[in-house]
Chain A
Amino acid sequence: MTTSFRLPDLGEGVHEAEILAIPATPGQEVKEGDIILEIETDKAAVEIPSPVTGKVTEILVKVGERVIVGSVLMTFRTEKDETPAERPGPPPAPQPQPPPAAGKQQGPVPASPSTRRLARELGIDLHKVTPSGSGGVVTKDDVLAHARAKEQPAAKPAAPEPEAAQPAEPSPMPAPLPAPAVPPGQLPDFARWGPIERLPFRSIRRATATQMATSWSQIPHVYCQDDVDITRLEAFRQRHKAELAAAGGRLTMTVFAMKAVATALKLYPNFNASLDLSAQEIIIKRYFHMGIAVDSDHGLTVPVIRDVDRKSIKELAIEVESTVGKVREGKLSREEMQGGTFTITNAGALGGHHFSAIINYPEVAILGLGQGRMQPAVVTDERGRHEIVPRLIMPIVLCFDHRVVDGADAVRFLKVVIKALEDPDELLITMI
């Protein structure tokens, strides 16, 4: 028999996805569980296994295409034939259910044809919708409400934490705006002034936009900038780079910064927090999971490295390297992007110098690293003599949520980080 494979409900409110790759080819024999499609939802790539054993008869989607839940992606022919040898064509519509053994079976859900069509298009099973109409009739509004309820998690910023829920009711604080997507606005017709191209705004791009707009509209950002003399740390890095590479790791400034930040977070726990406006509480997290911003072909992704405080520099160098690899291959799961308490973004590798960063809501701070550059620096020796020498100087920026912490704390926090990065001995001694 022929089986149509539709995009399944991916949960978490995900109702559309982009086709990344189609490992299966028409005519191919596949086994149940073989990977037939790779798709990308909000922020994660997902491999879709074949639901059946059989032959791929048609692939109805193309790489790059955007599909919604319920649309047919491919068809299979399976060996399993319908048991009754002579099925009299397709069942006529009003066909009653097969005779029940006893009692009342689950019949068709009463709903108008237009409601049924809407549910079909949204991929919603009417049996799961709470009816509001007379005698259990499901209305269009019921279907839409059900769809919205399913979508709720996606409306929240990506990589949300459990406590990241929007305040349920107005708080004494000025009510924060609900996480806005990009507000629709009337745009002029740009094509009047020259050729234009319209690109879809979706997937990671859209998730990033939602997350950034949320952060920008919710958090009063303050920036605290400084320079770090990483001459000694760089020498240390060069000495140990090869041995870590042999172990499969990559020793980067980010790895050192993670350890330095973990130390600072232990000293200033308010930076390892989230603000719960609905409860009027600051939530301090007693774990240190660090998000690292990774640039990839798919866009910005922030995988989370867990328990940074309990891992050695070597372990972190290996884990970060393998995680970045996963990001680039689009193999990161949604879980691996959740639960971060603080984020580090390093623009240095790309040659970025000074910049400001945006906090990864609902965290309260983010640390940005620029490129270390040889610069003339004034050094003072023990006897108080000054000398201008070339040193490797890295700009650093701490952005924080001024609702939760103050500038003084931020300076103190940043000093801890700077001290650890300027002096590898200090880093090793204070390292936790």
Chain B
Amino acid sequence: MVVGDMEMHTDLLVIGGGPGGYGAAFRAADLGLDVILVDSQWGLGGFCLHAGCIPAKALLHAAELIHDAERAKIMGIGFGPPRIDLAALRAWQQQRIDTMAEALMTLGQKRGILVLRSKARFTGSSAVRLTGAEISAVRFKHAVIATGSRARGLPGVDFTSGGRIMDAGAALALTDIPQTILVANTGYIGLELASIYAALGSEVTLLEQADRLLPTVDADLVVPLQESLTARFAEIVLGAKIEEVVEDAGGVDVRFTRSGTTEQRRADRVLLANGRIANSDDLGLDHTGVNLNSRGFIETDETRRTRDPKIFAVGDVAGGPLLAHKAIREGRIAAETIAGKISSFDVRALPVVVYTNPQLAWCGLTEREARQANIPHAVKKFPWQLSDRAQTLDETGGLTKLVIDPDSGRILGAGIVGRHAEGLIAETALAIEMGALAEDLALTLHPYPTLSETESEAAEIFLGNPMHALPESQ
């Protein structure tokens, strides 16, 4: 057999090994399909595990420890300034990643999935050509595209030459701890990264184009976060429109306009982002019936089938919120559909978590969406200064809010800002998915004293009989 001419046949070809890709591959294999997964960069895990969520969360945990150690001062406990061994921190971070990547590869292997490190391009609706692998082509009955997304560059900005202008992936590599760093246009990922650098000791300047941070998130949830970040960052500039970013040997100059006047800041490093774009452009999709929307994301139906009936698309490349858990679910749905099961993306409470300090999380209907769509709703908030547990943690800046259907009392959405919001949000997600009423949440006995009570207390406020707050006057 001539190497380079080998063609393989498979039931399912998955392109991309991130959460969407391995979600699809694992489920399909478990349903009895032959699966080949092709990933040009990492095998399994994708950007999320190797250069995105996971490295970020590891560093954010480190940042939280630094923050907590410092805060211990108010309890009369002093540790002194942290001594940071950057190489050891990076090695620890990498070790976490490697352990998880290895576990994923084992899970894939045990399922009989063939993982090829290669780049795939469609040559038609049932075949791809591979480059960089000993297999030159794969013919498939179905394919799942899970190639994800990548940072969109900024016109006129060179990310490559000097290395001082970074995207999120480069920032997570943690080359050094710059004296000063400027973070611009980055949404919640930027806030997370800026928090890491601030904890490690960098002076952070944050530029935000909108008039507040996270403009698409309910404003009351962002207020405690903005207060916290204001205290820890050197400067937060709102309404800043970037005009020019120039790198020289010693640093980066960023010129921007704010309410009509031009200003300039200089920093050792700059983290820039301009949203993310779909990795849909280098797949040879013109040889298939797959259709892209105007922003380059692949159009799919509720089973994640594209316009080409043999080809599915899941995760970031299929648009929607760019979240790993959404991608995994979509991958599973595509696999189930391909295996002949009836499946559909039927999620009512897609949870989103921002791992800043304090954390921010929400799911289901937001107050903002309810107002925009003119959906009848009541909003009930339980501020954490009323929570006994928050008092013992000295985390009283938090807030728990519920969006409730005023007629039926059904919980439609929830938003939480504060420590451990990541775990707290799951209870409301379950409540929304189950069609629970505020009464159900209130009558579920929550342990005292915990932060989870803030959810039942918010429900009790709706019912008119809260414990640690006074009933609202009618």
Contact = CB atoms under 8 A, between A and B. Distances in A.
B129 interface: no
Interface in B277-303: 289, 293-295, 297-303
Contacts of B117: none
B43 to A, nearest CB: 27
Interface string A144-166: 00000000000000000000000
Given A75-B309, A135-B410, A120 B372 contact: no
A70 B343 CA distance: 10
A98 B294 CA distance: 21
B373 A120 contact: no
A378 to B, nearest CB: 67
A71 interface: yes
B319 A88 contact: yes
In the complex, which of the residues B301, B309, B376, B433 has the most CB atoms of chain A within 10 Å of its own CB atom? B309
Nearest to B306: A2
Given A92-B321, A110-B410, A2 B305 contact: yes
Given A90-B300, A99-B373, A136-B408, A71 B435 contact: no
Interface-centre pick from A72, A97, A123, A133 (highest chain B CB count, 10 A): A72
A4 B305 contact: yes
A121 interface: yes
A89 B299 contact: yes
B320 A89 contact: yes
B346 A120 contact: yes
Given A2-B307, A92-B320, A96-B365, A134 B345 contact: no
A388 interface: no
Contacts of B59: none
A174 interface: no
B213 to A, nearest CB: 22
Interface stretch (B83-91, B203-211, B347-355): B347-355
A232 to B, nearest CB: 61
Nearest to A95: B369
Interface in A93-139: 93-100, 104, 108, 110-113, 116-117, 120-121, 123, 133-138
A88 B295 contact: yes
A71 B437 contact: no
Interface in B413-471: 413, 433-435, 437, 439-440
A116 B349 contact: no
B365 A90 contact: no
B310 interface: yes
B320 A104 contact: no
Nearest to A69: B342
B161 interface: no
A252 interface: no
B24 interface: no
Contacts of A133: 435
A50 interface: no
A59 to B, nearest CB: 9
Given A90-B345, A120-B344, A97 B375 contact: yes
Given A2-B301, A75-B309, A111 B435 contact: yes
A85 interface: yes
Contacts of B364: 94
Contacts of B310: 58
Contacts of B306: 2
B304 interface: yes
Interface string A221-264: 00000000000000000000000000000000000000000000
Interface string B299-329: 1111111111110000000111100001000
A343 B348 CA distance: 55
A1 interface: yes
B299 A87 contact: yes
Given A58-B310, A110-B435, A4 B297 contact: no
Nearest to A87: B293
A331 interface: no
Main secondary structure of the interface of B (DSSP, over half): loop
B293 A94 contact: no
Given A4-B305, A58-B310, A93 B299 contact: no
Contacts of A75: 305, 309
A53 interface: no
B374 interface: yes
A85 to B, nearest CB: 7
A57 B289 contact: yes
Given A85-B294, A90-B320, A116 B346 contact: yes
Nearest to B317: A89
A370 B343 CA distance: 53
B409 interface: yes
Contact of B309 (A2, A87, A110): A2
Contacts of A97: 373, 375
A112 B432 CA distance: 9
Contacts of A88: 293, 295, 297, 319
A192 B383 CA distance: 71
B143 interface: no
Nearest to A97: B373
B276 to A, nearest CB: 13
B289 A90 contact: no
Nearest to B434: A112
B372 A99 contact: yes
B336 to A, nearest CB: 10
A110 B437 CA distance: 10
B104 interface: no
A112 B433 contact: yes
A121 B343 CA distance: 8
Interface string B332-343: 000001001111
A77 interface: yes
A98 B375 CA distance: 9
Nearest to B376: A104
A86 interface: yes
Contacts of A100: 374-375
Interface of A: 1-2, 4, 57-58, 60, 70-72, 75, 77, 85-100, 104, 108, 110-113, 116-117, 120-121, 123, 133-138
23 contacts: A57-B309, A58-B309, A71-B340, A88-B295, A89-B295, A89-B299, A89-B319, A90-B301, A90-B320, A93-B345, A94-B348, A94-B364, A96-B375, A99-B373, A100-B375, A104-B376, A104-B407, A112-B434, A113-B433, A113-B434, A120-B343, A135-B409, A137-B434
Given A4-B301, A58-B310, A95-B369, 16 more contacts: A2-B306, A2-B309, A4-B303, A57-B309, A75-B309, A88-B293, A89-B295, A90-B301, A90-B345, A92-B321, A93-B347, A94-B347, A94-B365, A99-B372, A120-B342, A135-B409
